[in-house]
Structure 1
Amino acid sequence: MNKNNISIQKAQKKDYDELRKIYFNTRQESFTWEKHDSIKLEDFDSSTEGELILTAKIDNEIVGFVSIWEEDKFIHNLFVSSNFKKCGVGKALINQSAKAVGLPLTLKCVKANVNALHFYLSQGWTIEEEVAENEPYYLMKYEGINIFKK
């Protein structure tokens, strides 16, 4: 797969059915700490309400999305279809998020979501704070790629 085929654009209402499926399926597959019967298709709508949503497409197929609370430059959701993980989709979504709302970006990464944590750290995110609430998480920050980093 050619990573140059990834296009990022603002989500349209017509995209929401596909985005709901990505959100639902990815949570079912990856969120092992959640009860599967608590995960609903319509959770996407309440989880992204009022947020900027950008979609990632490869060959005109939606393969992922990011939702951002713009005022705080806070990434609330970043999901990539399992068939397209490790294809540069997440990185492309982060880069476009930075272009859309500016830096620094922040997000919460649930501690149990080890794969996501490793991904964010590999992309240059730093852990700013560890929070031990009901669902312990890391507050993470992204200030951009260091041009001197090899």
Structure 2
Amino acid sequence: MNKNYIYIQKAQKEEYDDLRKIFLNTRQEDFNWMEYDSIKLDDFDISTEGELILTAKINNEIAGFVSIWEEDKFIHNLFVSSNFKRCGVGKALINQSAKVVGLPLVLKCVKANENALNFYLSQGWTIEEEVTEKESYYLMKYEGINVLEK
């Protein structure tokens, strides 16, 4: 797929059904450390409650979304539809998140999610801490592209 213009806006309620499907399908496809049957459609509503949600669209089709706990500049969820992977959607969502809530951004990346970890590292995120709990994860920080120039 060629890289088309990515339009990002605050999520509209009428988009939530599509966002739920992206959240469900991506987790079922990529989260092999979770029990497949434990992943539910309404997990989206629980996981994004009280968060700012930004939706990315390409050619008027929802390509992905990010949800942010604004107080902490914490990216809680970043999901891209499998139809739009490697089109710059994740990068665009991170950049727009930084514009909307400011820097630095932080997130937790499950250690078993190697694809996400490699993506974040390629975008200039740094691992601040490794936490070993029931589900081991990395606490990561993004201070912007200028970090790479230091």
Q: One fold, TM greater than 0.5? A: yes
- The two structures have a TM-score, normalised by structure 2, of 0.96
Question: Whole-Å Cα distance in 2 between the matches of residues 145 and 37 of structure 1?
Answer: 39
CA offset at residue 147 of structure 1?
7.6
- The two structures have a TM-score, normalised by structure 1, of 0.96
Question: Whole-Å Cα distance in 2 between the matches of residues 51 and 127 of structure 1?
Answer: 23
Question: Whole-Å Cα distance in 2 between the matches of residues 36 and 148 of structure 1?
Answer: 38
Task: Please provide the CA RMSD for this pair.
Answer: 1.1
- The number of residue pairs the alignment matches comes to 149
Structure 2: gaps of 5 or more residues? none
The aligned counterpart of 1:3 is: 3
Question: Whole-Å Cα distance in 2 between the matches of residues 34 and 76 of structure 1?
Answer: 17
Structure 1: gaps of 5 or more residues? none
CA offset at residue 5 of structure 1?
1.1
For 1:145, the aligned partner's letter is: I
CA offset at residue 2 of structure 1?
4.6
The aligned counterpart of 1:62 is: 62
For 1:75, the aligned partner's letter is: I
The aligned counterpart of 1:100 is: 100
The aligned counterpart of 1:32 is: 32
User: Against the structure 1 CA distance between its residues 74 and 147, is the aligned structure 2 distance closer, same or farther, given a 3 Å change threshold?
Assistant: closer
Question: Whole-Å Cα distance in 2 between the matches of residues 37 and 50 of structure 1?
Answer: 26
Question: Whole-Å Cα distance in 1 between the matches of residues 20 and 94 of structure 2?
Answer: 20
- 1:69-115 deviation per Cα after TM superposition (whole angstroms, max 9, x unaligned): 00000000000001111110000000000000000000000000000
